[in-house]
Structures are given as C-alpha cells and as structure tokens.
Structure 1
C-alpha cells in the first residue's frame, strides 16, 4: 500500500496493479505469481489460502494488499487492473461488483480470452484495453494500405484503447502513425513502463494519452514542465 499511497500523495489519481487469486478466491494486488522474489515467504499464490499469503511481507515489512482494500482506501482513485491468471477472473468480478467500482476501473490482460471472460460476467460495462492478440492485430492493421483504418477500427471494436510497450523485440510499437491510427478510431494509447524523463517527453510529444511508470515523482515533474499538471 505504501507505493500506492506515495502516488496518491503526489497528486495522482490513476493507479495500476496486477491481480492474482489465492486458492480460496481472495484477490490480491500483486505482480508475481509467486511470493519468492519480493516477500519473505515462498510459494505460488494460487496454491495457498489467504491465511498463508497474508503472512508474507513485501520487503519483509508490508502485507500484500487486497484489491478490495485498495478500492475502499482510495474511493476517488481510478484503477488499471491487469488479470494475471484465469483463477483471478471470478474474484475480480465479485470485487468490482461489491465495490460498485465499474466507473473507476480499467480491466485488462495480456490474454484477450481472460479479459473478455471478465467483461462478460460484469453487470455493467467497464473501460478495457486490448490484450496481446488484439494489439498485434492492430499493429498489422496500421501497416495495411487502403483499408488500414477500417481494419484498425475492426480490430479494436471490443476495447477502449491500447496499453503497450514502447517497442517489442526491437520493433517500435509506439510511433506517430500508430498513435494517430488509434486516435482516429477513438481509442486511447497508454505506454508502459516508462521511467526515463526524456522518453516520457518523447512519448507525450507523440500524443500518447497515458504513461505507466514506477517513478511517479519523475512523471509529475515532466507533466509540470509541460504545463499539464494542475
């Protein structure tokens, strides 16, 4: 929770997190599938009940947060939520429904199958971004001649936007052309993970709509320099 609170304290109202489910269906806000790398415990989250996972401390000091806890802690914040595993779909839907948070979440996943499964179970629509397959199709569509823009719109018909890296395997993903194509289809473009101020400026110059960063302090400074912070 400390990292999220730090971003809130800086003035940000958009938070990004990954989610996994414990073996008893408790949804945790955590990137890795296992506890090994960043906590003082070990084991696969999906194979452990919350009673065990809750004992793990991030950096040896902080309990792994629950997504529901975060939604209630910051009721005006908006959350970008990446579904990391199929087992997290049901718990995520239940958390969003209980918190009535439909209007302040963006549900996404590398897997378009997982993403669509979650959307189909929600009682109200939420913002969503394309998964890996749709994103790859979008990139190919931008290279097509003649009917490229129609292909872009068709490819992104079930998503509100894209969340992409700057490049993939050395091939640029975010260019002036791809940003323009997404905007022409009325879709947003968010870029991850950007921690260098120079690159932040370059991407904002291209017209991207959002940046995912581990350095909220640097992003705030960049936005202030550009007169985009209020």
Structure 2
C-alpha cells in the first residue's frame, strides 16, 4: 500500500509541475526569436507611404518592426529634420537645399503628394517628434546624412538624445550610423553608450580583416549593401565583435535567405515581407 501511495504521489507531483510549466509557457510574452534579425523599416514603411514621414513611420509600427531607419539633416536655423535628399525637389513641392531653409519654412512644404494624393498633408518631421511619438513603439536607427555639409550635427543629435535621457537606457532604443566614418567616430565619442555603425556600399573585393579590425575599434555594427552580404562575411564581422546588418532588401526570398543566415538586422521598404514573428 505504501508503495502504491508513493507512486501515486509522485505521479501527482509530476502532473502538477507539468501543468505549471505549461501555464508559464502560455503566459510568456511573445517576442522576437533570438536568431531572427531585427526588422528595420527603411525610411519608415517607404514601400507603402511617402518616405521619412509620420505616415510611413506609423505604418512601420503597425507592421511590427523592431527599428525604423531615418535620415537626419539640419535646417538653416539648426533644427534636426528628417529627410533623405540634401535638396527638396524629389520628395516635396519645395526647391533648393535643405540647409538653406529655416525649419518653419520647411514645415510648410507638402512632403507626401509626390507619392500619392492621399498623403498631400504630410510634412517634413522634426527629429524630436519621432522621439515623442514613435520611439515608445519602435526603436530608431538614425543615419547622419552628408554630415560634412552640417558641421556640428553630431553634437546637435547628442544634445537632443541627452535632453530626452535616452543615453541612459540599459537597452538602447536608438542606434546611429553613417557612411562617413569620421562622423560615426565623433558621435560615438559623445555618447559611447549608444550603438554606432558604419554603412558600406558595394565593394567587389569584400572587406578585409584589417578594415574590420579598424571599424571594431569604435563601431558596434556594420551595415552592408545586400549585394555584399554573404555567410562568410557575416562570420568575419562577428569574429571582430560587431553585428552584421544589410540594406535595402525588397525581395521576400532574399529576406528569408538573410533570416536563415541569422543576420542581426535587415532593412527593407516592405516590412510585411518578413515572416511573422515566432513565439
């Protein structure tokens, strides 16, 4: 009888532990699979809405992105504005250089009609708007666009970040990148707690270990044009202690290939091309 009782009690304990474990599994919050790359929306969901506008950023959030990539420049009066081109003609109804206009004048421009008439009321956003309206819902990957045209832009960006106390976060929701290595170094020296990276255009010969070693002295990631990225190069980047991102991938099969490659981040105009988050 004692043996039967002990067996019954053991079975009961195992059953209780199993049910408790299932409960914890059911209540676990869904999240990104540890090997899934960051889903990064290029200029917002630029395939669906006019790039670098609040509509594009909100659409990206709706599509469940991890980060939104944006471009920042300076207005004539020193405001950080979100726009890709150094001139206004392609994405607004204005003309001339961004840097030759005060923010209040840039704000009057139509930044959406070029994409579709449904977006005729879109404006050029101020960087601080994104910190207040978008950052609570998705991280922001900030590209310093043509920083040589804007002396001091790194300090201005650092000032805005510090003003919002975003440099103190243990899990940073901001990252900064540029094609300009000197600008990345300058920013990284101002706020070393935020991840900084270097954008790299296509190089047929790839990237040497010497170059990667140089970049690793100040950068936490490199962001390569998709035509360069290979599994071998990803491993080289990781061997130098940096993360490997790629841009701009608008083909679903290529995105899936990079997912299987276990890249750290993939940038796209169409975030809906990613597989749904695994739970």
Q: Deviations over 1:68-120 (max 9, x none)?
A: 10011024321110001332323212211112223221111100111112222
Give the number of the structure whose residues are more often helix, by fraction.
1
Map of 1:139 onto structure 2: 207
- State which of 159, 180, 190 in structure 2 corresponds to 1:94: 159
Can you give the 5+ residue segments of structure 1 that lack an aligned partner in the other structure?
A: 142-147, 168-172
- State which of 59, 62, 69 in structure 2 corresponds to 1:6: 59
Map of 1:72 onto structure 2: 132
- What is the deviation of 1:211? 0.7
Whole-angstrom CA distance in 1 between matches of 2:105 and 2:263: 41
- State which of 133, 138, 142 in structure 2 corresponds to 1:81: 142
RMSD over aligned Cα atoms: 2.2
Q: Deviations over 1:17-52 (max 9, x none)?
A: 010100111001111111110111112111111111
Can you give the 5+ residue segments of structure 2 that lack an aligned partner in the other structure?
A: 1-53, 114-119
The within-5 A match list for 1:154-169 is 154-167=214-227
Whole-angstrom CA distance in 2 between matches of 1:163 and 1:195: 16
Between Structure 1 and Structure 2, how many residues are aligned?
A: 209
Secondary structure of the 1:2 match is helix
The two structures have a TM-score, normalised by structure 1, of 0.83
Secondary structure of the 1:36 match is coil
Given that residues 188 and 218 in structure 2 are in contact (C-alpha distance below 8 angstroms), is that contact kept between their aligned partners in structure 1? no
Cα gap change, 1:73 to 1:113, in 2 (>3 Å)? same
| Segment of structure 1 superposing worse, 208-217 or 151-160 | 151-160
Given that residues 60 and 271 in structure 2 are in contact (C-alpha distance below 8 angstroms), is that contact kept between their aligned partners in structure 1? yes
Whole-angstrom CA distance in 2 between matches of 1:85 and 1:23: 15
- State which of 73, 81, 87 in structure 2 corresponds to 1:20: 73
- What is the deviation of 1:154? 4.6
- State which of 35, 40, 53 in structure 1 corresponds to 2:88: 35
Map of 1:144 onto structure 2: none
1:110 equivalent to 2:179? Answer yes
Cα gap change, 1:71 to 1:138, in 2 (>3 Å)? farther
The two structures have a TM-score, normalised by structure 2, of 0.69
Map of 1:180 onto structure 2: 235
Given that residues 111 and 132 in structure 1 are in contact (C-alpha distance below 8 angstroms), is that contact kept between their aligned partners in structure 2? no
Bigger relative contact order (CA 8 A; separation at least 6): 2
- What is the deviation of 1:136? 10
